Chains A and B, each alone.
Chain A
Amino acid sequence: MAEVIQILILGMALGGVYALMGSGLSLVFGVMRIVNLAHPVLIMAGAYVAYWAARLYGIDPLLTLPIAAVILAATGVILYKLVFEREARSAKYSEMTVLLTFALAMVLEGALGTAFTNTQRVTSPDYATDAFFIGDIFIPKGQLYAGIVSLAIISALALFLKYSRFGYAIRATTQNREAAELLGVNVNLVGLVSFAIGIGLAGAAGSLVSFVFSFFPAKHWEWIAVLMSLVVLGGMGSIFGTVLASFILAVVAAFIGAYFGATWSTLTFFVALFVVLLVRPQGIFGEKPELA
Chain B
Amino acid sequence: MASLDTNDVLVARKAYNAGLVQEVSKERAYWFPAIVLALLLLLPLLQFTGNYNYLIHLVLFTASYVVMASGWNILGGFTGYISLGHNVFFAVGGYFAGMIFARYGISTIILAPFAGLVAGLLGYLIGQITLRVRGPSFIISSLALVMIFRILFENWEFVGGAAGVSLKANDLPVQWAKLPYYYAFVLMAAFSVWAAYRIKHSKFGLGLRAISKDEIKAESAGINTRFYKTLAFAISAFFVGMAGAVWGEYLTYIRPNIFLIILVSVNMVLICILGGKGTIAGPVIGAVLLVAFNEFFVATLGASEINILATGLIMMICLMFFPLGIVGTLARLRKLPRILNWD
Q: Which residues of A contact B (CB under 8 A)?
A: 35, 37, 83, 86-87, 90, 92, 94-100, 102-111, 113-114, 118, 217, 221-222, 224-225, 228-229, 232, 263-264, 266-267, 270-271, 273-274, 277-278, 281, 291-292
For chains A and B in complex, what number of residue pairs have CB atoms within 8 angstroms? 131
Contacts of B160 in A (CB 8 A): none
Chain B: interface secondary structure? helix
Inter-subunit contact A113/B323 (CB<8 Å): no
Inter-subunit contact B133/A278 (CB<8 Å): yes
Inter-subunit contact B312/A271 (CB<8 Å): no
Q: Which of B177-232 contact A (CB under 8 A)?
A: none
Inter-subunit contact A109/B308 (CB<8 Å): yes
Nearest neighbor of B263 in chain A, beta-carbon distance: A106
The contact of B309 among A90, A94, A106, A273, by CB within 8 Å, is A106
Interface size class of B (residues with CB under 8 A): 35 or more
A-B contact pairs, 10 of them (CB 8 A): A98-B82, A100-B316, A102-B315, A114-B305, A114-B306, A221-B147, A263-B154, A267-B151, A278-B132, A291-B140
Contacts of A264 in B (CB 8 A): 151
Inter-subunit contact A263/B155 (CB<8 Å): yes
Contacts of A278 in B (CB 8 A): 129-130, 132-133, 141
Inter-subunit contact A99/B82 (CB<8 Å): yes
Minimum C-beta distance from A245 to chain B (A): 15
State whether A292 and B303 are in contact (beta carbons under 8 Å apart), knowing that A83-B320, A105-B312 are contacts in the complex: no
Inter-subunit contact A95/B82 (CB<8 Å): yes
**Contacts A107-B313, A263-B155, A277-B133 known; 15 new A-B pairs at CB < 8 A:** A35-B139, A83-B316, A96-B319, A102-B315, A103-B315, A106-B266, A118-B305, A221-B262, A228-B143, A270-B144, A273-B140, A278-B129, A291-B135, A292-B133, A292-B135
Inter-subunit contact A35/B140 (CB<8 Å): yes
Q: Which residues of B contact A (CB under 8 A)?
A: 82, 84, 129-130, 132-137, 139-141, 143-145, 147-148, 151, 154-155, 262, 266, 269, 273, 303, 305-313, 315-316, 319-320, 323
Nearest neighbor of A110 in chain B, beta-carbon distance: B309
Contacts of A277 in B (CB 8 A): 130, 133, 137, 140-141, 144
Contacts of A273 in B (CB 8 A): 140-141, 144
Inter-subunit contact B312/A104 (CB<8 Å): yes
Inter-subunit contact A107/B309 (CB<8 Å): yes
Contacts of B305 in A (CB 8 A): 109-110, 113-114, 118, 217
The contact of B308 among A110, A270, A271, by CB within 8 Å, is A110
**Most chain B C-beta atoms within 10 Å of own C-beta, residue among A94, A102, A221, A225:** A102
Minimum C-beta distance from A233 to chain B (A): 12
**Most chain B C-beta atoms within 10 Å of own C-beta, residue among A35, A94, A98:** A98
Nearest neighbor of A92 in chain B, beta-carbon distance: B135
Minimum C-beta distance from A132 to chain B (A): 33
Minimum C-beta distance from A92 to chain B (A): 8
Inter-subunit contact A228/B307 (CB<8 Å): no
Nearest neighbor of B262 in chain A, beta-carbon distance: A221
Inter-subunit contact A274/B141 (CB<8 Å): yes
The contact of B306 among A110, A221, A222, by CB within 8 Å, is A110
Minimum C-beta distance from B282 to chain A (A): 16
Contacts of B151 in A (CB 8 A): 263-264, 266-267, 270
Minimum C-beta distance from A89 to chain B (A): 12
Inter-subunit contact B82/A228 (CB<8 Å): no
Inter-subunit contact A103/B319 (CB<8 Å): yes
Nearest neighbor of B273 in chain A, beta-carbon distance: A99
Minimum C-beta distance from A35 to chain B (A): 5
State whether A98 and B312 are in contact (beta carbons under 8 Å apart), knowing that A291-B133, A292-B133 are contacts in the complex: no
